[in-house]
Each structure stands twice: as C-alpha cells, then as structure tokens.
Amino acid sequence: SPPFDINLVRQDFPILKEKVNGKPLIWLDNAATTQKPQSVIDRIAYFYQHENSNIHRAAHELAARATDAYEAARQKVQSFLNAFSPDEIIFVRGATEAINLVAKSWGEQNLNSGDEIIVSHLEHHANIVPWQQLAERKGLKLKVIPVDEDGQVILSEYAKLLGPKTKLVSFTQVSNALGTVTPAKQIVEMAHLAGAKVLVDGAQSVSHMKVDVQALNCDWFVFSGHKVYGPTGIGVVYGKQALLNDTQPWQGGGNMIMDVTFEHTTYHNAPARFEAGTGNIADAVGLGAAIDYVNRIGMDLIYQYEHHLLVYATRLLKEIPGLRLIGTAQDKASVLSFVLEGYRTEEVGKALNQEGIAVRSGHHCAQPILRRFGVEATVRPSLAFYNTCGEIDILVATLHKLRSAKPLSFR
Ligand code: PMP
C-alpha cells in the first residue's frame, strides 16, 4: 500500500474526478504533463485577486507583493534543486526555452568551428535540435552516446567520444520515451575530466526523484514547471553563478539592464540578466506552490511509491502476449513504452481512451531513440504518485481484451 493516504492525495487533484466516455479518468500521460493540485490552482487565482502587478519596477504595495511572491518562488526552486544561490535560478517558458537559452547565449559565444557537442541517443528533440542548429551555424560536430538493448547509455562508448574537442555534454537524466534513468553523476564527472561543460535535462526527473545540482555538479540544469504539478508556460534554467555572469544575455529589453544610453548598455548579473521583459509572474508563483505541494508529500515517498507502481505495471504488461516493452533498463522512472503486435499505436490509444485511460501514442518527440529500437511510435503510459494499482489493473485488462480480439501471428 502507498506510504501516504492515496485517497486524500487524489482529492487534492480536482481533474481526477472527471469522466471520459462515461468512465472515471485514468491519467497515465504524466510524462507529457502532470495534473495540478487545488493548492496550485488556488495560488494562481490568489495572485491575480490580491497581488497582481508588474515586478521590480514600481514602488507601490502591489508591486511589492508581486515581487515578494515571485522571488519567494525563485527561492523555492533554489532549495528544490539545492542550488547554492537563488541568483542561479532563471525563470523561462519551459525546458525547451531553457536549452535554447544556453545554446543561444553560452553556445553562441563559446563554441567554434571544429568543437564537439555530445548528446545521448535518448534525447528529446528539445535537446537535439538547438544543438544541431548551432552546429550548422558554427561548423560544430554533434556526437551521440549509444544505448544498449535495454535503453541505457553505454559509458564505455561515451568515454571514447570524449576528447580535447569536447566542449559540451548535454543529456537527459530520465528518458521521456523509455523511462531510463541515466547515470548522471558519472556522465557529468567524465565530461568535466575532459574539460567540457555539462547541461542536464531534468524535464522528466524532477517530478520523480530528489535532484541536487550541487551534488550532481552540472553546469546547467533545466526543467518545465508543468511536468512537476505546476502550470504551463514556466520553467527553469539553473546555472552556476560565475558561468551565468560570464555569459552575455540572449535577449535584450527591460528588466535585464543596469544602464542604457544610445551608445552603450550594461547588464545586470543573473538572474535578471536572462529575464528580459515581463516574465510569467503568476505561473512562477504557481510553480512555487507546486514545489510546496511535492515537498509536503516528500520526494522520497513519491519515489518509493512510484517505483512500486512501475514494478507492478511492468510485471503485468510483460504477461500480455504480443506486447513488446521497449526500455528495460535496471534503473527506470515512471515510463512504460510498448508496442502491441497487430495494432497500430493510435489504435491502442483510442481503445484505451474508450475506457477513460489517457496515454500518449506516437514518437514522444524522441524519434532517434524509437528508431534505435526499430519502431516509429510506441504506446506510453507514464505514472505519477496519484496513480493506483487499480488503475493499472484496468489498463492491463483493456490491453488483454484488445489482444484477444485479434489472433497473434505465427512466430
Ligand atoms: N526534455 C524532455 C526529456 C522532455 O520530456 C520534454 C517534454 N516532453 C522536454 C525536454 C521539453 O519540455 P517542454 O515541452 O515543457 O519545453
């Protein structure tokens, strides 16, 4: 049984009371986005009802309230990631914008023709395309850490890719397509020994495990608020303070400047340096409330319970004839990716939707890793702490029914 009161937890998420096709909603699309607890919804409404103002600039009561709420959210993110200083936390739109920020600022300024960037075969398109664009513009080389048959990165192959030309290693802590948890600390250490900087994509990790950026010792860490029970449109770049202040901003405008003349502009240090214009104040505050919520349950208990769900679901899915699970690494979080013989992935998704079950079927914005396993798409249930073994039973029963509706081919 769960290490917390699952019924109470589920009551915190109003959307879980929805019906879909007359059935109770079973939300198993958590890798795409998570649902929001009432406390997050209320916090955003409270901001607009009692605190709404632009921040920093004006000297009146509501500006002070909005600024305090925004900066309090930054501190919550700081302690959530165990960053050294709140000045290392930059608010952006999401993980995608976060990676683009690093590519268009640090990458643009520091990488030159012949330099090499290493990513893993597991990456989301958000951690491939910005580097590819930069590589095309600057004549850089993009190298890829291969994965084994279980979908885990092969460290011995990674070691061979590292060299004096390696300037950046950018990789995901948890794969959104397979659920693989990568050996992040080791990947970071090996990159640093080669003299490269490291970006960790935490879009799929922060909601499932404790993250400590100082222990990880990465140079940047990025994530999206909406995948950790916060609102859409808000995300984070963590960067080491000295590195951020050594990097020129990527966008110019209000808020980020110290002084402007027509001849010359001087910039603030981070975080303001990278927060040009009016940011998403209300949703940053909402993200702070989401972190409070997660902390109240406790990341250790979340990890423990979700692991139990994952093991349970994996065992039952493996018993379905003709179901091929893709991503079988020892260390996994949340994600179960599979194909069902005789069915297109959309057909499976539609059949599950008939039963109120929401999963993603498609390429999950990670085409290279799916092609590595010879498929263009998978069905992808992904778990969160508000899911139950009962929900998994309904998923599995529906798949068994689908399975028996069509005979298996001879093998
Ligand atoms: N990286 C990973 C591993 C992801 O799973 C996602 C979202 N699917 C992203 C980056 C991009 O996040 P967003 O779309 O919120 O910017």
CA 123 to centroid of ligand 1, rounded, Å: 10
Pocket test for ligand 1, best of 122, 201, 283, 382 (most atoms within 8 A of CB): 201
Q: How high does pLDDT run on average in the chain?
A: 97
- Active-site positions read 365
pLDDT for res 1:
73
- Distance, in Å, from the CA atom of 310 to the CA atom of 70, rounded to the nearest integer, reads 35
pLDDT for res 64:
95
pLDDT for res 162:
98
Is any ligand 1 atom within 6 A of the Cβ of residue 102? no
* CATH of region 6-30+299-405: 3.90.1150.10
Span(s) in the chain for CATH 3.40.640.10: 41-295
At the topology level of CATH, where does 41-295 sit? Aspartate Aminotransferase; domain 2 (3.40.640)
Report whether pLDDT(166) > 60.
yes
List phi, psi (to 5°) of 270.
-65, 150
Span(s) in the chain for CATH 3.90.1150.10: 6-30+299-405
Report whether pLDDT(180) > 70.
yes
Is any ligand 1 atom within 6 A of the Cβ of residue 30? no
Is any ligand 1 atom within 6 A of the Cβ of residue 152? no
User: Does the complex come out with an ipTM higher than 0.90?
Assistant: yes
Counting beta carbons within 10 angstroms of the beta carbon of residue 54, is it exposed (0 to 12), middle (13 to 18) or buried (19 or more)? Answer: middle
Is any ligand 1 atom within 6 A of the Cβ of residue 204? yes
DSSP-assigned states of every residue in 323-336:
EEEE---SSB-SB-
Q: Count other C-beta atoms under 10 Å from residue 32's C-beta.
A: 18
Bridge partners (DSSP) listed for residue 362: 378
Report whether pLDDT(2) > 90.
no
Structure tokens at 258: 């110290």
Report whether pLDDT(212) > 90.
yes
CA 91 to centroid of ligand 1, rounded, Å: 15
Pocket test for ligand 1, best of 96, 128, 180 (most atoms within 8 A of CB): 96
Structure tokens at 316: 């039952």
